[in-house]
Amino acid sequence: MDQAQSLREYMLRFNGQQEQQQEPIPKQPDGTHSARVITITSGKGGVGKSNFSLNFALGLIAAGKKVVVLDVDLSTANINILMGVTPRFTLADVLRQRKYIWDVLEKGIGGIEYIAGGLEVEDLLQLDERMLAFFWSQIQALQSYADFILLDTGAGIYKELVDFIIASDETIVVTTPEPTAMADSYAVIKTVLQYTKQIPRFRLVVNRAQNYREAVETSRAMKNACSQFLKISLGTLGFVMEDVHVRNSVRAQMPFYLSYPNCEAARNIKQIVQAYLPEMEDMATSSPKGIRGFFEKIFLLGK
């Protein structure tokens, strides 16, 4: 029996039923839609990736969307620090301590919900059938709970990142106009393409641009490099300008979208959300893989 068939049998066997000791899953929004899984990454640290992830999530929430942020930066998780909170549990606790997904789903400021990662691909590969089934039942609970699940990843290039991008519905690459940041972002895209025949959906965000002209030039340079050397079309999601309010909000551990809602960076986030959501509605006929499909593919890639 191949691994994919094995996983499908696990899901079929435990879908719609729970182990006797398991508590009922709380009510979730009606509908059969799947949350869209978006990986947010960068080629290097210090470009504001986690800050963008957090404030982009708040922008989506303000637009009426249900969003869960999953912090999968295994080395230096930053989402909780940016909000000034300490998570009680991580996703790894679903495996190790048999916590329910609702136990590890933390409530943050501004209506944001997030899950601390702490989970490595190797953890999934060591599960026996019973543990995998429990994990799967908990992951499926998120399937129709949220509209978007944002994966805030670690900076740089590593195997887990490549797996995350391949398994996601789309990937947002955050860069700054600095040549090193642009080169490293390009390297992420190039590396991922070496491991998959199906081209992932990449979108670019230029962060901390000094002005609109610099943002456009950065975007154009990235798009041209991807088109000329990688033979792919890199879409641009938007720009976030350099703004002193961003630094102030980081020090205060309060997202700038909430603490300075009228600052330029916050307005840029609103513009990105306003441009992004109509595009997602136009793609409604293309069903996302969802969080269940994401973890199934992560499992198979690990194998």
Q: How many CA atoms lie within 13 A of 286 on its CB side?
A: 9
Cα–Cα distance measured from residue 211 to residue 170, given in angstroms and rounded to the nearest whole number: 27
Give every CB contact of residue 39 below 8 A, 6+ residues apart in sequence. Answer: 151, 153, 161, 164, 165, 168, 170, 171, 172
Token pair of 94 as six digits = 């679903």
The tens-digit pLDDT sequence of the chain (303 residues) is 444 455 555 445 544 444 433 443 444 444 456 889 999 999 888 999 999 999 999 999 999 999 999 888 755 667 888 998 888 888 888 877 678 999 999 998 899 999 987 666 666 666 677 777 787 788 878 878 999 999 998 878 888 889 889 999 999 999 999 999 999 999 999 999 999 989 999 999 999 999 999 999 999 999 999 999 999 999 999 999 999 999 999 999 999 999 999 999 999 999 999 999 998 876 654 567 777 788 777 777 765
pTM of the complete model: 0.86
CA distance 253 to 246: 10
Please give the single-letter amino acid code of residue 142: L
